[in-house]
């Protein structure tokens, strides 16, 4: 016999649809709040969240859940996406660079824009695992370039695996720019690929400060592998349109938030 629902109570599938809708609109959900809003027990909500997480539709965290970031597209595709927005972010990110610094720049389309925006004749040393970033800088004046070797993953656009990890152990950088698949004020910086995430983690460990440059779709989300807790991110460069509440969540955790100028597109 089908279970009878109380007046105002939703069926599990209806509840889960409502939860997903709130995840998309809010960026995170809290079990206690959902229970009150959806007229359900916290046990029912937690069960819903477990089921949604098992389906790969969210990430369970203490007290609630976060949405999963969209899977990363191949680099060739990403190069042609959100070009104006990435350029605006790159210009703001480059304002954090000082003459004579050693920079660790991860592979990725946003980081390629950062490399292309770096000013010449500042005596910068750029360490990167991305051949396209090295090639973009090699014809410009005033850069010393160190290309980390190893197996090139064409989807990522950079070297991954044991060799670049070993080479990073001999590097000490002032700033690193790890590519961001997802970042959340509570849980930190995340990546999808295990090897790539290990390399990003090594970049953070090899640098004095970490600068995360993120388009809006990466905020308040998580991925498969945690790269670093939010306490290890010193600077976050965000798009101009990101709201005050989202910016304040990172500022409250001690992150210096930098807002890019409005994008051309």
On whether both 191 and 224 belong to a single domain, the answer is: yes
On whether both 226 and 105 belong to a single domain, the answer is: yes
Distance CA 110, CA 106 (A): 10
Q: What is the pLDDT of residue 76?
A: 60
On whether both 116 and 153 belong to a single domain, the answer is: yes
Query: Half-sphere exposure (CA, 13 Å, Cβ side) for 102?
Result: 12
On whether both 51 and 130 belong to a single domain, the answer is: no
Residue 163: give the domain boundaries.
75-259
Q: What is the pLDDT of residue 5?
A: 47
Query: Is position 3 within any domain?
Result: no
- Report phi then psi at 129, rounded to 5: -100, 5
Distance CA 197, CA 190 (A): 8
On whether both 116 and 182 belong to a single domain, the answer is: yes
Single pTM value for the model = 0.78
On whether both 119 and 58 belong to a single domain, the answer is: no
By three-state DSSP, how is residue 7 classified? Answer: coil
Distance CA 245, CA 228 (A): 22
Q: What is the pLDDT of residue 264?
A: 74
CA distances from 230 to 35, 96, 180 (A): 28, 19, 12
Residues of the chain with pLDDT under 50: 1-5, 7
On whether both 92 and 117 belong to a single domain, the answer is: yes
Distance CA 214, CA 211 (A): 10
Q: How far is CA 251 from the centre of its chain?
A: 16
- Residue where a domain stops, chosen among 41, 66, 91: 66
Q: What is the pLDDT of residue 75?
A: 59
Query: Is position 227 within any domain?
Result: yes
On whether both 111 and 207 belong to a single domain, the answer is: yes
- Report phi then psi at 197, rounded to 5: -65, -35
- In this structure, are strands 188-191 and 182-184 parallel, antiparallel, or unpaired? antiparallel
Query: Is position 148 within any domain?
Result: yes
141 DSSP assignment: T
Q: How far is CA 55 from the centre of its chain?
A: 22
Burial (CB count <10 Å: 0-12, 13-18, 19+), residue 212: buried
Distance CA 115, CA 125 (A): 11
Residue 178 tokens read as 């790890």
- Residue where a domain stops, chosen among 66, 84, 103: 66
Q: What is the pLDDT of residue 82?
A: 73
- State the chain's mean pLDDT as an integer: 89
Query: Is position 57 within any domain?
Result: yes
CATH assignment of the domain containing 50: 1.10.10.10
By three-state DSSP, how is residue 128 classified? Answer: strand
Burial (CB count <10 Å: 0-12, 13-18, 19+), residue 81: exposed
Query: Is position 232 within any domain?
Result: yes
Residue with tokens 């027990």: 41
- Report phi then psi at 36, rounded to 5: -70, -40
Residue with tokens 């000013």: 119
Query: Is position 117 within any domain?
Result: yes
Distance CA 248, CA 244 (A): 6
**pLDDT tens for each residue of 20-35:** 888 877 777 888 899 9
How many domains is the chain built from? 2
On whether both 19 and 111 belong to a single domain, the answer is: no
């Amino acid at each position: 016999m089908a279970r009878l629902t109380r007046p105002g109570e939703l069926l599990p599938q209806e509840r889960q649809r409502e939860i997903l809708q709130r995840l998309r609109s809010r960026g995170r959900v809290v079990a206690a709040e959902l229970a009150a809003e959806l007229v359900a027990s916290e046990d029912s909500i937690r069960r819903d969240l477990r089921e949604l997480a098992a389906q790969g539709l969210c990430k369970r965290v203490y007290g609630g859940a976060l949405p999963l970031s969209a899977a990363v597209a191949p680099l060739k595709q990403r190069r042609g996406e959100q070009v104006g927005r990435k350029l605006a972010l790159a210009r703001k990110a480059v304002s954090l660079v000082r003459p004579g610094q050693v920079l660790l720049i991860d592979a990725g389309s946003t980081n390629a824009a950062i490399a292309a925006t770096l000013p010449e004749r500042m005596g910068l040393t750029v360490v990167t695992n991305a051949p396209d970033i090295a090639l973009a800088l090699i014809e410009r004046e005033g850069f010393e370039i160190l290309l980390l070797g190893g197996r090139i993953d064409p989807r990522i656009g950079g070297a991954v695996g044991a060799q670049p990890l070993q080479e990073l152990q001999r590097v000490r950088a002032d700033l690193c720019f790890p590519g961001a698949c997802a970042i959340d004020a509570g849980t930190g910086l995340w990546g999808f690929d295990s090897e790539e995430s290990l390399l990003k983690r090594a970049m953070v460990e090899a640098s004095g400060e970490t600068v995360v440059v993120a388009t809006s779709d990466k905020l308040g989300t998580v991925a498969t592998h945690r790269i670093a807790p939010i306490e290890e991110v010193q600077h976050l460069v965000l798009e101009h349109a990101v709201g005050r509440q989202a910016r304040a969540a990172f500022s409250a955790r001690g992150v210096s938030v930098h807002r890019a100028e409005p994008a051309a597109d």
